Structure 1
Amino acid sequence: MADGPERRLSVLARQLGVEDTGQLLSANPCATSSGNAVAPLLAGQVALITGKGIGEAAALLLAAHGAAVVVCDIDGTAAQLVAGAVQTFIEHEAGGRAVAVAGDVTAPDFGERAVGEALRAFGGLHILINNAGYTWDGVAHKMSDEQWSAMLEVHCTAPFRLIRAAAPAMRDAAKAESQGSQVSCIINISSTSGTHGNAGQANYATAKAGVVGLTKAVAKEWGPLNVRCNAIAFGLIDTRLTRPKEQGESIQVGGQTVPLGIPSADAYWKQLKAQVPLRRVGTAEEAAGAILALASPYSSYVTGQVLEVNGGSHM
């Protein structure tokens, strides 16, 4: 069919998940003046999201746009609180669903268990967001093998295992939609430390660079199966990993207490914000917005890419 209004309206209808162009008024997010309900971007989709902070914001945002969400965190209470918030908000707004999965993403069986819960609760899996992680900083010449290995395990091996566990479900879902605009997608969270390097983070930077390689390999392997795979490299986002270390946030790793945050973060933020054209730190909600953009049908032809979300700090 040649380009023209009819074809473009037909494509838009498919992107918004409606049967024909006659339903576009109720589905178009901009067409609200008539009082018609807005069709959720992710209606009928199931998203599995790991980690707190950006993960929590992403769970809420994707649920608000129609996705059923599987909220995964090492802290079971925190995961349940997020799932409860999703259920409360979405039940009030549009009847959405959420479940919580507690567990350490580095556990060898975590991927199978989390994907299994998605299938049990919602019957499918369409969106996988590998977000869980932490930092364990140190200069390279003083870094222990444990510090090095821990970052590779949580930022590279854990996402790989989840992707492997999700393969059957995501491939099947994508193949079923092979003639439509919806495809399954994987979003791996990287960092500007991985794309540009960062002093004091040789372990974290290496692991996050590995995420980029994993993303591109999976994008090439699974593209013919109608599965997209992209990465997002975040800059300075306001989470517990970037707040003052003096606040006392920590995580237990192999019996050790690993402090989280940045020493003298206020001074560091001031210095860093001067290098950011937008002159501020990003929020978890803004980070989640980038995740929604890549997960949505509007990015159905985007795969194998690394989206940098950093306020312009690295150009």
Structure 2
Amino acid sequence: MAVAGSLIGKLAFVTGAGSGIGRAACKVLAREGASIIAADRNLNSAQETVSNISKESNQNHTSLNINVGDQTSITTALNKILEQHKKPPSIIVNSAGITRDNFLLKLSSDDFDEVININLKGTFMIIQTFSNAIIEHGVQGGSIINIASTSGKYGNVGQANYSASKAGVEGLTRTAAKEFGKFGIRVNCVLPGMIATPMTNAVPGKVKEKFVKVIPLGRFGKPEEVAEVITFLASDKSSYVHGASIDISGGF
């Protein structure tokens, strides 16, 4: 099937690609013509993502195992990409993330550290490693899209660690935007609200009902709805959008 879209010829690297928003981002980016590198700590899930999107396009999609909390793993992933594609990806989507929810008074320091390490430090290490490669290889039109959260903006009961990590991602995005503009690399983030993903599937039904009542659109969002905004930010259609944080929350 011939592919016609706004990202033809682009190479896109997506972390957390094995499920949820990451998987949806791979699907929509591929629809617009990008070649996808689906990276996840669960390689089988990443391979499943690639299998799904390959059925719908004739682009060259690949999967990679990665632990975004480990610099060696990130460097190894980049080297594999450079070996295969001879260039770094120009589109980076930082979707890998975890939760370790508990009330603040009961939250262990280990659970706090683990969430910060994956969600915030992992995003930092991916940005630093891949941006250096983009600059060194002279790749034009770089676009980095980070996944923050409305929890980082407003806070959320039982998510002190997650909220802090995502607030940090938003601050990191703004700083990276100020530093990378001179290299032609745009950096933005999206702030999903309650999205129907494996992460929110673990939320008790009664809690979900309470959230729905305060969402003006009256429902949880779909991963694809977040992916559409990610794809817009990856494309030249958003060529003057830089350092932005975009809520995708149904009005919450």
Residues 22-61 of structure 1: CA deviation (Å, up to 9, x unaligned): xxxxxxxxxxxxxxx7742001111100112110111111
Identity %: 34
Deviations 1:238-271 (A, max 9, x none): 001111xxxxxxxxxxxxxxxxx21x2x222222
| Structure 2 CA distance for aligned equivalents of residues 172 and 205 of structure 1 | 34
1:225 and 2:183 aligned: yes
Higher normalized contact order (CA 8 Å, seq sep 6+, divided by chain length): 2
Change (3 A) 1:114 1:312: same
Q: What is the one-letter code of the residue matched to 2:21? A: I
SS in 2 for 1:241: helix
Cross-structure match for 1:171: 135
Q: Where does residue 283 of structure 1 map in the other structure?
A: 222
Give the Cα separation in 2 of the matches to 1:233 and 1:56.
Answer: 17
Measure, in 1, the Cα distance between the counterparts of 2:222 and 2:163: 21
Structure 1's unaligned 5+ residue stretches are 1-36, 178-182, 244-260
| Moved beyond 6 Å, runs of 4+ | none
Q: Structure 1 CA distance, aligned partners of 2:102 and 2:143?
A: 34
- Offset of 1:301 from its aligned partner? 0.5
**Alpha-carbon distance in structure 2 between the residues aligned to 1:128 and 1:38:** 21
- Tell me the secondary structure at the aligned position of residue 41 of structure 1: coil
1:110 counterpart = 2:73: yes
Which of 223, 239, 260 does residue 197 from structure 2 map onto?
Answer: 239
The Cα shift of 1:97 comes to 1.1
Q: Distance in 2 between matches of 1:38 and 1:191?
A: 32
Q: How far is the alpha carbon of 1:190 from its aligned partner?
A: 0.4
Q: Which residue of 1 aligns with 2:92?
A: 128
Aligned CA distance change for structure 1 residues 145 and 50 (closer, same or farther; 3 Å): same
Of 111, 116, 130, which aligns to 1:147?
Answer: 111
Q: Distance in 1 between matches of 2:94 and 2:3?
A: 28
What is the aligned partner in structure 2 of residue 254 from structure 1? Answer: none
Count of aligned pairs between the two proteins: 248
Q: Is the 8 A contact 1:99 1:121 kept in 2?
A: no
Aligned with 1:44 (options 9, 34, 37): 9
Q: Give RMSD over aligned pairs.
A: 1.5
Give the TM-score, by structure 1 length. 0.76
Distance in 2, matches of 1:275 and 1:84, equals 37
SS for the counterpart of 2:110 is helix
Mapped partners of 1:54, 1:193: distance in 2: 16
* Alignment-derived partner of residue 209 in structure 2: 270
AA matched with 2:98:
Y
